[in-house]
């Protein structure tokens, strides 16, 4: 009976340790995701600005003669 309880205690300790590790990994992944999302948003903004500038430059080009 004591051996069974010891084995159960060890398994519970392993589960607790695994949950702790997974929570820490999850937190790290959330941070990386937040950084990636901020980077993506910055790139979207840069693309929008570049697109607007290209549109402005295209409007300044003279019309081609047929």
- With respect to residue 4, please indicate whether it lies within any of the assigned structural domains: no
Which pLDDT belongs to residue 33?
98
Residue 63 has φ and ψ, to the nearest 5°, of -70, 140
Q: What is the DSSP letter of 66?
A: -
Domain that holds residue 39: 18-50
Cα 60 from Cα 66, distance rounded (Å): 18
- With respect to residue 23, please indicate whether it lies within any of the assigned structural domains: yes
For the chain, residues with pLDDT lower than 50 are none
- With respect to residue 29, please indicate whether it lies within any of the assigned structural domains: yes
Q: What total number of domains does the chain contain? A: 1
Which pLDDT belongs to residue 64?
74
Cα 53 from Cα 46, distance rounded (Å): 11
Which pLDDT belongs to residue 66?
63
Which pLDDT belongs to residue 25?
98
């Amino acid at each position: 009976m004591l051996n069974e309880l010891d084995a159960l205690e060890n398994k519970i300790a392993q589960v607790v340790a695994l949950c702790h590790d997974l929570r820490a990994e999850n937190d790290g992944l959330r941070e990386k995701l937040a950084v990636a999302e901020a980077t993506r948003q910055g790139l979207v903004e840069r693309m929008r600005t570049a697109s607007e500038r290209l549109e402005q430059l295209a409007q300044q080009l003279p019309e081609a003669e047929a």
